[in-house]
Amino acid sequence: MKLTITIGLLLIGHLTFGQDRIQKIDSLLNSLYSKEKINGNFLIAEKGKVIYSHSFGLANETTKEKLNENSIFELASCSKQFTAMGIMILKEKGKLNLDDDIEKYLPELSFYKGVTVRNLLNHTGGLPDYMQLMDSLFDKSKIATNKDIINIFSKHQPKILFEPNTKWEYSNTGYALLASIIEKVSGLTYADYLNTAIFQPLKMKNTFVYTRRLSPKKIDNYAFGYVYSDSLKKYVLPDELKETKMVIWLDGIVGDGTVNSNVKDLLIWDRALYTNKLLTKEGMKEVFELVTLKDGAKRNYGFGWGIEENADFGKIANHNGGWPGYVTFIDRHITNDKTIIILQNHNNVTIPSKAIRNILYNKPLPVQKIRKEVIITTEELQKFVGTYQVEKDFEIKISLDKDQLFSQLTGQNVFPIFVESEMLFFYKVVDAQIQFEKNEKGEISSLFLLQNGNKIEAKRTK
């Protein structure tokens, strides 16, 4: 359900531009697959026409069933675009107003004054993270639902993080609450409402809301999500590992995740977003408008979509998703009508979207920057060792073995990091850096993971 931080190896230097674009993409992906850096389905289209579609790897590690173009994946945070569309359909039918306070629909949360439906849609509500709260307060022998989130928030009334619309901060809580608002207003379950309002009208026959542990059922062509176990040296279901067991007790939460689909249905979805089948022209425009904060500042997010104005590729709407076992990505190039859909069912994978973009536009492939390594003493390296918390269930561990520093992100492999300057380290396997920060006492107190223009902060806890 969360945005994914992906550290993956991207070796593409052997590709030459004498090849056809499709051959280049295929060569790139096969190279990554041979190095176990992808495992999933890739579909690329131009003006709705599929120009590349390929499956890499297994749908089921036990039966050895291979993935195919009909394989169904959990979408993780790519589900948010459907939740947002559900809200917008209700808005256009006059069932709700985006500027209504959420207490109108969720009176149990009336203590959150001034938080609107719009704030939930564009991540400006300032609500605390429900996963962190429930990790300490929820009975994990049970499976949580959205009602449990509301009940715990109502009982404990955790403080708002910031005044609504003064900051932008990605919020799974907001989208879980949007699902509850959909249920309150429509009188249907979230799953039935999306099916009635979106999936059936668009004939997305392989798309549905699925809570696999809460309400298991047999689904043909299902791609089970796997995480790599360093101790077992193999891929296993996240249910089997202590650090990823949240997939069980959080399985009943909908709205920020739990939509399941395949690449073919997601292309149908992509095509519908160029039409007015679901919303008016004005409504569709609003979905893809940038957030405007109270001080007039813009943020690159709309309703369930990240929005990018790219000098080379035009306007792009995209979103990625990550949940133990799944890494997903949908990239819609609105100006030039190109679509990249990536659904993967391994956790330790890369999303080679930049390389695919460049190939599609006949641009040079991105080249990893050459960074100069600096040598410092083992005693100096020891200062950085510790655990740095991004979110309750996501952390970065920095360890030292002899005179080499290592970094490990939750659910991913251990990678060495190298000194670039006193407080700046870099990876050699991917173009990413770690910038450490000191507090007023001169102690290492936090770090920032820098990758693909993103800056992810992690606070030191140990």
Q: What is the pTM of this model?
A: 0.82
Contact 37, 372 (CB under 8 A): no
Q: How far apart are alpha carbons 25 and 19 in whole angstroms?
A: 10
Helix (H) or strand (E) holding 412, with range, is: none
Question: Tokens 């600096």 label which residue?
Answer: 374
- Classified as helix, coil or strand, 258 is coil
Report all structural domains of the chain as residue ranges with CATH numbers, in order of start.
Answer: 1-367 (3.40.710.10), 378-460 (2.40.128.50)
Whole-number pLDDT of residue 413: 65
Residue 227 has which token pair? 């995480």
Residue 328 has which token pair? 């997903």
Contact 225, 345 (CB under 8 A): yes
**What DSSP state is assigned to residue 9?**
-
Q: How far apart are alpha carbons 365 and 359 in whole angstroms?
A: 7
The rounded percent of the chain whose pLDDT value lies above 70 is 93
Provide the residue type at 356 as one letter: I
Contact 244, 238 (CB under 8 A): yes
Whole-number pLDDT of residue 393: 61
291-292 and 298-299 beta bridge pairing: antiparallel
- Classified as helix, coil or strand, 159 is coil
Q: How far apart are alpha carbons 220 and 97 in whole angstroms?
A: 39
Q: How far apart are alpha carbons 81 and 259 in whole angstroms?
A: 10
Contact 420, 434 (CB under 8 A): no
Residue 376 has which token pair? 């410092």
Q: How far apart are alpha carbons 351 and 77 in whole angstroms?
A: 15
Per-state percent for the chain, helix, strand, coil, to nearest 5:
25, 30, 45
Give the CA diameter of the chain: 66
Whole-number pLDDT of residue 415: 81
Residue 95 has which token pair? 């069932």
Whole-number pLDDT of residue 132: 86
Q: How far apart are alpha carbons 347 and 231 in whole angstroms?
A: 16
Q: How far apart are alpha carbons 248 and 240 in whole angstroms?
A: 10
Q: Given the residues 31, 77, 186, 261, select the one marked as catalytic.
A: 77
Q: Which residues of 107-146 are buried (b: 16+ CB within 10 A; e: fewer)?
A: eebeebeebbbbbbbbbbbbbebbbebbbeebeeeebbbb
Whole-number pLDDT of residue 144: 96
Whole-number pLDDT of residue 17: 37
Intervals of the chain under pLDDT 50: 1-18
**309-315: Cβ within 8 A, 24+ apart:** 312/361, 312/363, 313/338, 313/357, 313/361, 315/288
77 assigned to active site: yes
Among residues 52, 53, 9, 6, which one has the least CA distance to residue 33?
A: 9
Whole-number pLDDT of residue 452: 63
**247 burial class (0-12, 13-18, 19+ CB within 10 angstroms)?**
buried
Q: How far apart are alpha carbons 88 and 85 in whole angstroms?
A: 5
Whole-number pLDDT of residue 18: 35
Structural Rg of the chain based on CA atoms: 22
